[in-house]
Structures are given as structure tokens and as C-alpha cells.
Structure 1
Amino acid sequence: MTIKKLDQAAREAGIALSFINNKGESQTISDETKQALLAIMNTPEGKAPPLPPVQVFTVGESLQLVPAGSGAWRWQLATEQGETHSGNVKGGATLTLPSDLTEGYHQLTLEKGRQQCQTRIIIAPQRCYLPAVLETEKRWGALVQLYTLRSEQNWGIGDFGDLLQMVEQVAAHGGDFIGLNPLHALYPAQPDHTSPYSPSSRRWLNVLYIDVSSLEAFQQSDEAQRWWHSAATRRALKQARATQWVDYRAVAELKLTALRFAWQQSQPHAAAQQAFQQFLAAGGDHLRYQAAFDGILAERSQQHPEEWGWERWPEGWRNAHQPEVQQWCAQHEDEILFWSWLQWVAQQQFTACWQRSQKLGMAVGLYRDLAVGVAQHSAETWQDPQLYKLGASVGAPPDPLGPLGQNWALPPLDPHVMRQRGYQPFIDLLRANMRDCGALRIDHVMALLRLWWIPYGEGADKGAYVSYPVHDLLAILALESQRERCMVIGEDLGTVPQEIIGLLRDRGIFSWKVLFFEQENKRYRLPSDYPRQSIASASTHDLPTLTAFWNEDDLRLRSELGQFAKKSLLNAAIRQRHQERAALLQAMRQAGVIPARSNPTADTALTPNLNQAIHRFLAHTDSALLGLQPEDWLEMEKPVNVPGTVDEYPNWRRKLRVPLEKMFSYRKVQTLLKVVSEGRKQRQKRAAALRGCRRTEAISSKSARRAGAR
């Protein structure tokens, strides 16, 4: 293939021939990478149908299509509401659909003799859902990594019982939402795979978050209670609760044992429970194969504990639809029901948390986090391998923070298959994650526009950007957002391509503004410079806590982990941090949030008063939402995740320092949350007054113009 034909083939497949790196320079993709990615895509060639498989329109657009080819077609449109429209159209002529089509999913069929073509017609609103209160008011909430919560009742990991308690406490202190880490299903039979951003499935829940103690079936089982009160169980539970880091293996062993007892107690009644049967029917094959995967993984983990990933299973087991798997499913219906029941219980408990947040009047209530993908050896890739390109992994190109680039070991969704399926996989994903919550955070939202694909086994520098149908995906996102009454937050940190910034803003998707990054020309942005359509926070799960940032604990930790090649690089980072602290203090003085009697410097320790002042600065931002981390209330230093590490640091395990029962009784926590609540209200009043002044000025100006005209 000539270079010209190679480039043309790459462009047609959506592979970018070059990209703008973090330095603002254009960087060309090698021919070897183009060839490798084209081989991975293996897009089938064939005669194009007269219409594409799906056509997405936004309300207000002209609903027109042009069938390819020649001859006359008979068309029929079946709307989502059950109405039908029909007519005739010639190939190459314009087919104009009824202008009064409502938002939703409709089916267009073209027929000519024995030839038939179907196209899904999607009509979407212009913007995502926004709670009415956020149009004028500013609210705050807590950003919680659920597994980090301690309590007197949990089993060594934060659970849905703790989440319920957290909802109560945050609401009582003036907060309006709990922002959560991804709750996606992981690998209960192999609990050491802990990253919520490398899940087994993004459509189902992590069953280790089940609050076992609250289950009636567990409480009523004599066998379960004997086990529960045994000396061995009490010792194991005490140890799991006492550790500073979540011991996932101990937690999984305790919970799965208890849940087996509960299932034995519940099983005779579960089949007769209409709600459970409805859950099974709604989950369909996707739930069934998720449960089968968990069951097979549990069985194989006992037989082959060193084995990781379905690719290491015998050949006949590497796909959910193979005869060996189907035979196992037929022989293990009870096991499939058990794992399906766990998903049902988890969903019920999470729903209860959401319902409680609404009864308490929280503006957003709960927000969930959607990871950018699933792991290579996940239940998702096992049951639907055609949807993913397993010969590639997504990540990020090299930059100063990661000279070798990043490889996240997540196979990319195939944009061509998604489109061929009428975007149903994307729709199902959104519905599963917008259920029972007021907001959805989309991790690495730039993935709706493009993803950095890396041929499997290659370094991240050997990748290229592959485009996704961003306009269609954003339209569907707006449609599902409005239907589920779930606002959308886009994690748009890092290098953000210019072309997506306006698209996100116009669709009503909230941007993420992290204090540490909100600086330009060595100056921190003032609170009034934060856009209203955003959520502000001091930090994130991938960044140091506020205390670690101020005290340089994160730099010392990175040095211990070998992330600074030279001592001079560490010293340069320390000098830069000193400058950042000084710049932040200067911005805080300009914003008037530092008490008059206080005169902190860049060398001042982070006292409770200074911590409150930083939170007051955040509270004064014009962002409609503000997210606070409990780690910063408690002045904790250790992070939950250190990017660039796997085994070097115990990521996704660090617990909070104190249990929930004590945290909200601390005077410093109560004071800090009061400062934030008052700061949000003060800023809101100032903004309202400013809007009133502007309206008055506009009216006066209009009156003056009229007087002049006379």
C-alpha cells in the first residue's frame, strides 16, 4: 500500500495522521502505527446501504435524509410512541421526515422489492438536564471514595450502609450531594484487582459494597448467625476493620461467606418475589452472563488461584457464547441466580440511599462516576468481544509528567460497531449509570471525541488518536440526561482539545475546575473567574490532598517511589510548590478570605484556620457546584491513588482516618462545613445583587435611549 493510500485508509477509519502535543506542536503518526491500528480495526468492506444504520438529529434541525442509489423506495417511520408515517422517495432525492417528531428513538424502514434497509432515527434535546435550583443557586457536597469510609458497622470497607449515613450527615450540615467513585462491578473472586477505573463491567455494581448486616435473610439465618458470632469470624472482622488500608481479600472472604448464608435463607422466597423476577427480566442476557462470569471466575479461582484473565482459560471458555460455557450455565442455574441476586441486593441498597437523599431535599443527591472503559479480561469483553478492539489499549501520549505516555490497559470500544448497532451499547451504559442519581460524572470526557489507541504490547508512544462520533454521542447524552433527570459533569482535566470545549459547554455539560490547576502566568484565578457551568474542588482522587499539597508530602512520596530521576528535579518541584503556595495566598488575599489578623506566608504550616480560609476561597467561586473531600476536612496526607504506580503504592485502599460516627462530631469539621455553607450563600447573594444591578443598568440605559430618541 502506498503512503497516500495508507493515509486515506487511516483517515476513513478515523485514525488521526497527526496531533497537537502538550507543547502545542504538531506531531506526526508513524506509518507503522497506522498499519497496526488498521489491522486491529479490520473494518469490513462491502456495499454501503442506502442509508446509515443510525441518524441523530437535535431538536430544531431539519429532519432530512438522502437515500443513496437509484430507483423508488417505499419508506415507513415507526415512532417510539407507536405512530406510523409512510411515503415514497427516489434514490438521490431528499426524504423529509415529519417536523413534529418528538425527542426519542424512532425506526425508519426503506423497502424496494425484496431489498430492505433500516435506520434508527434519534431526536435529541439541545442541552443536558439541569436542576432548576442550580440555575440561580450554588451548592456544595462531599466527594467520597466509598471504600475509604470507616464505621462501627461496616466490615472493613465502606458500604451502602455507610453511604446512607453519609447522606444523612452531609444533608444535616448543609450539603446537597455525595459524589462517588465508580461503583462498577470488579472481581469479587479475585479481590486484589481493586481499581474502580479498571472494572469488570460498567453496567453492574461492585457487590462488596453490600451492607450485609442489614439484610433480613442474613439476620434470620441460624447458620449465618452461628458463623457471625463465632470467635474466628469476630477476630477476622475486628482485624479487617482495624487496618489503615482496605484488606480486599479479607473483606471478600467475609462478605461472600455471609452472602452465601443469606442466599440459602432467601432462595426459597426469591423465586416468588416479583421484584427480583422483574430485575432478572430487565437485566436479560447481559445480567445472566455477568453472573455466569462471576460464577465461573469463582470456581476457577479456587482451582487455579494464580490464574488471571479469561484469556488464560481453556479455549472453549474464552467466550460467553461457546458450547462449554452454555453447558456450564445449564448445569449451574442456582449459581447464576446467586450472583444475579447479589446485583439485585446491591441495586436495592443503592436505590435506598438515593431515595433518602431526595427525601432530605438534596438538590443533586448522589452523583455517580462512569469510568472510561473496562479491563482487558473483563466480563464485558468476555460476553461481547465484537464491541471491543482487544488488539489495542487506550491511554495517553507522552508528556512532561509522563515521558513514556500512559497505557491504561483498557480495550477501546469500536466506534464503527457502536454506530452499526444504533448506539444501543452507549445508551444502555448511560441508563445503567444514570439510574438512581442526580448527576453523572464522565471520566476523561474527551473520549467522546477521541481516544489514544495503542497497539497491544507496544509502548504508549506508539499510539494514535482515533475519532469517535462526538456530535451523535453528545446528543444521545443530552437525551438520556433529560429522560433520567440526571445532570452531566465532564472530567476535562489535562490536555483538552479545543474542538470539544465549546461542544461540552453548548450541551450543558459541567466542566471540572481543580484549584491546583486553576492558575495562569503563576497567578491563581480569583473565585469570580470560575465559570458557573462547572464544579470546583481542591483536588481529586489522582492528586494530593490539600494537606499533602501544602506540606509537600506528595513530592516526598513521589521521591520515595522513584518518580524523580534526579535530586535536582525534586528540588525544582519543591521550589515550584513554594511559589504556588505564595501565589495561592495572594489570590486569597485579593478575594478577602484571609482573616484580617492572620498573615500566613508560603512557609506557614497548614493550620485549621488556614484550611478554613482555603475552603472559604473555594466556597466563593462562581461554580454552581463545589465538591469537598473528607480527607481535607481531616487534614490527611496520604493519597488514595498515585498515578504511574501499580505495585509500588497500595492504590485504592487507604481508609479515612476516623469513623463516620466521630468525623462529624469534630469541632474543626463542623466549623469548616459551616464556613463553606455560609461562603456559598454569601457568594450567591452577591451574584444575585450583581445581576440585579446589571438589570437596573440595562433598564436605565434603555430608558435613556428612548428619551434621546424623543
Structure 2
Amino acid sequence: MEYVDTLARLAEKAGIEPAYHDIFGNRHEADEADVKALLAALGVPASDADETARSLEDLERRDWGRLLPPATVLRTTGAQLATTLTHRRDRRDVVYNWTLIQEDGLEMTGTADPGDLATIDEAEIGGIAYERRSLPLPSHMAHGYHTLRLIDADGAVAAEGKVIVCPTACYTPPAAVNGNRAWGVACQLYSVRSDIDWGMGDFSSLRTLAQGVAQNGGHVVGLNPLHSLFPANPLHISPYSPSSRLFLNPLYIDVQAVPEAEESADAKALMADTAFCDRLDAARKAGDVDYAAVSGLKHEILRVLHKHFRALPADHPRVAAYQAFLDEGGYRLHRFAVFMALHEHFDGAPWHQWPEEYRNPAGKPVLAFASEHMERVNYHLWLQFEADRQLAEAAGTLKDAAGGPTIGLYRDLAVGVDTEGADTWMDPGVYAVGARVGAPPDELAHGGQDWGMPPLNPLKLREMGYGPFIEMVRANMRHAGALRMDHAMALQHLYWIPPGVSAKQGTYVSYPMEDLLGILALESHRNCCMVIGEDLGTVPDGFRERMAREDVLSYRLFYFERYEGGLFKRPEAYPELAVATPTSHDLFTIVGHWRCWDIALRHDRNLVGPGTSREEEMKARADDRALLVAALKDQGLVREDFPEDEHLPGDDLRELILGVHRFLARAPSRLMLVNLDDLAMEESQVNVPGTVDEYPNWQRRLTVSLERLVHSPDFARTAEAVRAERHRAVKPGGG
């Protein structure tokens, strides 16, 4: 029994929750074997009673054996700011001087005499008694990342820790305060088809869309994650399973918008080559994105353009801008480029399969490789430089074309990274590679969900002063006015799945939510970037209320917002602190829902569970169409004789789509998004969760060009209607 208690204490100390309730109300206890496996993934072995006891003592020593915490996250609420000083009881007479160094270099000093400080807690570990006391800090500290040092009697630094001072809530832009209700258009950028693209949407497509949205009174353009994928493996295409969340996917570079394209004779000759033009024409005409073809075409030209860039004189403005970009990116940017060069060198093989000497990013063999292959490394550095420049230009276009307050680009942050990607190679200890992230069983996935990605290790995150989290948030707020956090519940806890078991056998691991929220608020203000938390699925009790206190917007989908009996919630029932939008990348489009496209796909490709009847699902969908029409009629948004038949003609579909958008535009929610897929009247969806080879996820392109769409009567009519509805007086319901 003593061993069971020790294991439970160790699991609690490591953040493993003993049980959870699923969306159906069923309680799931964490299995002992699974707890041990998750502890091992956290770097806390517990194979037997002795090892478990040692691990518990080690964790407690890590907590109690340091004078200062690695990071203290404080909020400027007006209360006394303080950190903690933890010392051995037999050293309570030791007095320290402290120095607080603010980011701006300003230093503040004081004295820490444990005998004068209030005791918060006490503990005895391995026969040694410890005391934890509250150490008051200056109340006039600026928001930011500061350094606190304790100095002993000999003048040596006895301890050092971060002090992170944060605002009380996230930033809200002028376009979404004082009753202003912003709106915009969301797209999957890769799916956008333009007259001049190279087989997929790019940053020039984004500029075109941004200009069209701004000129029609919109405030924001929403995007899928732009994270770096795997250039050496172009078939690894999910934007939600990236190689790195710190850097950009260079396939979004518009090759012809690269400044060197105007100057390079070699590039012009290659683009005029008949065989090259035939390949480009085929990529442009493809119904789905042919990532291998697009990657081959783009990198073939980009390497030529990089060679031209390398020949520019040292005093050229492009060279100066590039050097400034490298200086800002620092060692992290360089290490990422080295990974990309190595990944290419080893023909796209997962890094865990590389020769062992190349698995350590700081090892001598990797440094030697980088030196010997500097041209390859420089190429990937330059790709990031040019991608960042083009993204910045697209963001600037939206703001320049707006006639008043705007928000800007709305970027999307994936919940994790691929196990074999750059981020796990650069920071192997930060990720718990022995576990996978997922979601417990719910109405959409009765077997649970396994996303196959390693979670961040919360123990390591604390020890590193939250550096990886800070970098990740900051990188994705760059050039953005809004950031959507996919599966925002990860701020509180994540569903971890141990090795060798199904998604049904996972359990939750807690994260330092209050600290992460403080940092999120600080970066939000620094980057003038509002935050949206995608809170769909199994949402913990009180989570949405906690996010609201942080001014983090909830993510509300039209088809999910129902009263208990199944009726669609009226617009005024939507909360003010929310984003309202019809559907998402994981769901049907408006047309797809109406025509039962998703039901047909699931049954035609055997993606349904046992006992699921196509006829029953079609009947349920017909009932849902009736509820949808009733909701729109209630608001006077479709005519009284609007048909409920599955096979609507085009004009009726347009009336339906416009009605849904007007319905959501009436909500008091601070932000409302129109999906470009719905404006294009697409039937199929871009991703079908739970499928791999059964459906071409992340590949479907729009069937109409962006230029035609942005200048179409439907686009103008929708923008005009949404603008009018957003300016109507509403009474928030807060449902």
C-alpha cells in the first residue's frame, strides 16, 4: 500500500491527473501501468518501489532545493508583487542582498533576511528541513522579462531566476472594443487558387485576399497554420503536424515576387524553358495541390535565386536586411536551418534514424556538418528571410488598404509538432517523445483521438523558465493582429496517450496554466495581438469562464451552437468574448452539410462505426436542415417558402449561405469570420478527421480563382450585408 501511495504522490507531483470525466459523464481512472509509462515519458522513472521513492525525492529536491524558482510569473493587479525564497532551516540566519535587473537595464536592489519574511510552507526531504518564504519585490516594475539575483555575503551569485511581470488580460484591438464588432474572411491558404500561382496559394494570394477584404470593410484575414513542414519530404502536408512552430513554410513564397526574380537571367531562362513551363501549367491546373510538383518547381527556381542573392554586394539593402534578420533570429534560426540541411542530406529520413552523432544539435559532428555545408544552411536561412518578408508585406497590405481601425492577419497555432521535426531535434528534452497528444472519446470520435504528436514536458518547461513557450507564442504573433490557439485547453491540461495503447487509454497531464496565461497576456500586448482559444471538444469545467477573464475569445461554430433540445441558438445568445463562424477546417462546408456530402463520404469509404445507418443519418440531416431553415426564418434571413430539399439550385444555395453569414454577423461576438470555402460554394471539406489515405486531406483547392471570387457580386453582397449587420445594435446574451 505504501508503494501505491508513493506512486500516487509522484504522479500528482508530476502533474498526472488521477481521473477524468469524458463528454458523456463517465469517469475514467488512470491505470497504474499507464501512469508509469507517462512518468517515464516525463523523465521520471517509476518501474519499482525503490525507483518510485527515489524519483519522488528527486522531484521534491528540485522544487525545494533551489533558493529561487526558475521563473516567477506575476500579474499587475495592484497587490504586492512577490516571489519565493526557499532555504534550509539550518541556514535561516543567512542574509542575502538581491538585485533585480529589468529588461531595460534598470537595476533595483534590496536585502532578503529570511527571519523577516513570512513563511509560506515547510517540508522535510531526505532528513533535511526546508522553509519557503515570501520575498516582496518592487511594486513599480515594468511589464516584461526581468532577472532576479541573490548575492551572498562573499559577493557571489547564490541564485538567479526570471521575474515575468504581465498585464491582467490579453490585448484587444480598437476594432473590437467599445461595442465595435469586427469581421473578416478565413481561408486555408494552400487551397487558394489564383491566376498566377504555382499550384497552391501563396503570400501574394494572401495579399490579394487581404486587399479585397480591407476594401470591403473587413478587419481580418484568417489563416491555417503557416508552420514549417518538411521540404525534403513534401508529402508530409498537414499544417497541424509541423516540423517547427517557430518558422514558416517556404512553399508559401511567391517565387515571382522574390526581388531577385527580376534580376536573375538564369531564373528567367529556367522559367522560359518549355519543359519547366509544362510542369508549371500542370501544377496550376490540378484539382488538388500536388505538393511534390509544387515543391520541385519552387525549390528549383528558389535555389537559382538564392545563388543570385549570394552574389549581391555587401552594401546592397537586401543583404543588410538579411543580416538584420539573422541577428534577430539568433542561434535558434541557425539551428533550424542546420536541421533542414541535415534532413535534406539524409533524404528526408526521420532524425531518430540518422547516425547517432547527428542527433545532438550541439554536438561537434553537427557543427562540422554546418561548416562543411554552409551553402545548404544559408539557403534555408534565406528561405525564412524571404518568407518572413512576404508575410510582412501581406500583413501591411491589409492595414494599408483598410479605411479605419483594423486587426490584421489572424494566424493559427497548432497544438503540437511532429515527433521527427525540427523542434523536437532542437529541444529533445522539452518534448515528452514517449507519449502522444490526443483527445478522449466524444460524440465525433467514440474511440478517442490520437494526433501522434509528442506533448511539451511541463516539468522541463518550468525548469527552462518557460522559454520554449515564450518563443513559440512570439513567433506566431509575428505580423499578426490575432492568434488562434488550436485546442486551447492545452493551457490547462493535455490528454496524453502512453506508448503502445489506444486513444481510449489516455489520461490528462496538467500544465502551469496561470503562468502560461500571464505570459500569453504579456506577449499579446507586446505584439498588439488578440488571442482566440479554440475550445471545442472536451472542455474542463470553468475553462471558458477563465479564458473570458483573460479576454481570450472563445471559438463558436454555428453548427455546434445549439440549445439543449437541438435548436440553433439565436444570434443574441452568442457571447461577446467570442469568434463566431459557420464551420471549421475539420467540418463540412455550408453546402456540404446541406447536401449531406460528409454522410455520403463516411459511408462510401467505410468510415462509420458498426450499426451506423446511412438512412438514419440522412433522416437526421433532413431534420437538421429544417432546424436550420427555421432559425434563419426566425431572423427574417430567408424567404418564408425557402425549400428544405437536399438538392437546392444555385440561387437558393446563395441565399442560404448569405443567410447564415448574416445570422452570425448579428451576434454580439467581437469577431465574426466568413469562410472563403463557403463564399466559393465548395461542397467538399479540406480535412476529414480520422482519415489518412481514405481522403486527400489538406489538398483540395478552390474551384474558382481568387481574383474572380474577390471581384464577384457574391463577395460584395456578403461583405455589404455583414457590414450592415455588424453595425446593428445588439444585446449580448452570453450563452
Q: TM-score, normalised by structure 2?
A: 0.90
Please name the residue that 2:151 is paired with.
Answer: 111
Mapped pair 1:332 → 2:373: yes
Q: Give the superposition deviation at 1:586.
A: 2.0
Q: Find 2:81's aligned residue among 58, 63, 86.
A: 63
Q: Which residue is equivalent to 1:206?
A: 249
Structure 1 pair 603–553 and aligned structure 2 pair: CA distance change class (3 A): closer
Instruction: Return the offset for 1:97.
Output: 1.0
* Counterpart check, 1:299 vs 2:345: yes
Structure 1 residue 315 and structure 2 residue 334: aligned? no
Shift of 1:579: 2.1
The separation in 1 between residues aligned to 2:141 and 2:389, in whole angstroms, is: 36
The answer to whether 1:402 aligns with 2:445 is: yes
Structure 1 CA distance for aligned equivalents of residues 444 and 313 of structure 2: 52
Match of 1:540 in 2: 584
1:188 Cα deviation from its structure 2 partner: 1.2
* 1:634-688 CA distance string (max 9 Å, x none): 221111000001111110010001111211233333323322222222x3x3559
Is 1:77 matched up with 2:117?
Answer: no
Q: Is the 8 A contact 1:173 1:673 kept in 2?
A: yes
SS in 2 for 1:441: strand
Give the % identical residues.
Answer: 37
- SS of the aligned residue for 1:539 comes to coil
Note closer, same or farther for the CA distance 1:116–1:271 as it changes in structure 2 (3 Å cut).
farther
CA–CA separation in structure 2 for the residues paired with 1:341 and 1:526: 50
- Give 3-state SS (helix, strand or coil) of 2:86's partner: coil
Kindly indicate whether residue 485 of structure 2 is the aligned counterpart of residue 442 of structure 1: yes
Which of these residues, 129, 136, 139, is aligned with residue 171 of structure 2?
A: 129
Of 39-48 and 218-227, deviating more is 39-48
- Listed as ranges, the matches of 1:70-469 within 5 Å are 70-71=92-93, 72-91=95-114, 93=117, 94-113=134-153, 116-135=158-177, 136-269=179-312, 272=315, 273-301=319-347, 308-361=349-402, 363-469=406-512
Output the amino acid matched with 2:169.
Answer: R
> Distance in 1 between the 2:669 and 2:267 partners?
49
**Structure 2 residue identity aligned to 1:658:** V
Q: Give, as a single letter, the amino acid of the residue that structure 2 aligns with 1:35.
A: K
Alpha-carbon offset, residue 567 of structure 1 = 6.1
Contact 1:66 1:91 in 2 (8 A): no
Aligned to 1:516, what secondary structure does the other structure show?
coil
Q: For residue 701 of structure 1, what is the aligned residue in structure 2?
A: none
The alpha carbon displacement at 1:556 in A equals 0.5
State the shift of 1:518 in Å.
Answer: 0.2
Shift of 1:254: 0.3
Residues 209 and 710 in structure 2, CA contact (< 8 A), matched pair in contact too: no
Q: Could you tell me whether the CA contact under 8 Å between 2:40 and 2:434 is conserved in 1?
A: no
| Structure 2 equivalent of residue 693 of structure 1 | none
Matched residue type, 1:356: T
Q: Distance in 1 between matches of 2:357 and 2:258?
A: 38
Answering whether residue 722 of structure 2 is matched by residue 676 of structure 1, we say yes
Per the alignment, residue 641 of structure 1 pairs with: 687
**Structure 2: distance between partners of 1:428 and 1:643:** 29
1:588 to 620, 632, 643: 632
Give the corresponding residue for 1:480: 523
Deviation at 1:604, TM superposition (A): 6.8
Partners in 1 of 2:566 and 2:437 — Cα distance? Answer: 33
Over aligned residues, Cα RMSD in angstroms? 1.8
- Listed as ranges, the gaps of 5+ residues in structure 2 are 45-54, 118-133
Contact 1:579 1:602 in 2 (8 A): no
Cα-to-partner distance string for 1:331-377 (whole Å, 9 max, x where unaligned): 01121111100100000000011111111226112111111111000
- For 2:706, the equivalent position in structure 1 comes to 660
The alpha-carbon deviation at position 117 of structure 1 amounts to 1.1
Checking the alignment, whether the CA contact within 8 Å between 1:293 and 1:379 is kept in structure 2 is yes
Mapped contact 1:271–1:277 kept (Cα < 8 A): no
**Contact residue 97 and residue 152 of structure 2 kept, 8 A:** yes
Inter-partner Cα distance in structure 1 for 2:230 and 2:587: 26
* Corresponding residue number in structure 2 for 1:20: 21
Is this contact kept in 2: 1:582–1:602, CA < 8 A? Answer: no
Relative to structure 2, which stretch is displaced further, 145-154 or 661-670? 661-670
Deviations 1:587-614 (A, max 9, x none): 2222222235x44336573522222222
Letter in 2 for 1:308: A
Are 1:626 and 2:665 matched, yes or no?
no
Answer whether contact 1:68 1:91 (CA < 8 A) is retained. Answer: no
Q: Is 1:3 aligned to 2:4, yes or no? A: yes
* Aligned pairs, number: 681
- Quick check: 28-37 or 107-116, which moved more? 107-116
Distance 2:450 2:387 in 1: 31
Report the Cα distance in structure 1 between the residues aligned to 2:211 and 2:416, rounded to whole angstroms: 32
- Are the aligned partners of 2:37 and 2:499 in contact in 1 as well (CA < 8 Å)? no
Structure 1 residues 227 and 518 mapped into 2: Cα distance closer, same or farther (>3 Å)?
same
1:565 to 596, 602, 609: 609
Relative to structure 1, the CA distance from residue 457 to residue 321 in structure 2 (aligned partners, 3 Å threshold; closer, same or farther) is farther
CA contact (8 A) 2:245 2:417 kept: yes
CA–CA distance in structure 2, aligned partners of residues 352 and 592 of structure 1:
41
CA distance in structure 1 between the partners assigned to 2:157 and 2:671 by the alignment: 53
CA contact (8 A) 1:585 1:602 kept: no
Q: TM-score, normalised by structure 1?
A: 0.93
Distance 1:485 1:64, change over 3 A: same
CA distance in 2, matches of 1:593, 1:604: 20
Match of 2:70 in 1: 53
**CA distance 1:9–1:271, shift in 2 (3 Å):** farther
* Deviation at residue 566 of structure 1 after TM alignment: 4.1
Structure 1 residues 17, 602: CA separation in 2 closer, same or farther (over 3 Å shift)?
Answer: farther
1:698 corresponds to: none
Shift of residue 429 of structure 1? 1.1
Question: Which residue identity does 1:378 align to in structure 2?
Answer: G
- Contact (CA 8 Å) 1:552, 1:574: kept in 2 or not? yes
Equivalent residue for 1:512?
555
Offset, 1:585: 2.0
User: Which of the numbers 500, 503, 525 marks the counterpart of 2:543?
Assistant: 500
> CA separation of 1:83/1:19 partners in 2, compared to 1, >3 Å: closer, same or farther?
same
SS of equivalent to 2:311: helix
Counterpart pick for 1:611 among 657, 663, 672 = 657
Distance 1:322 1:457 in 2: 31
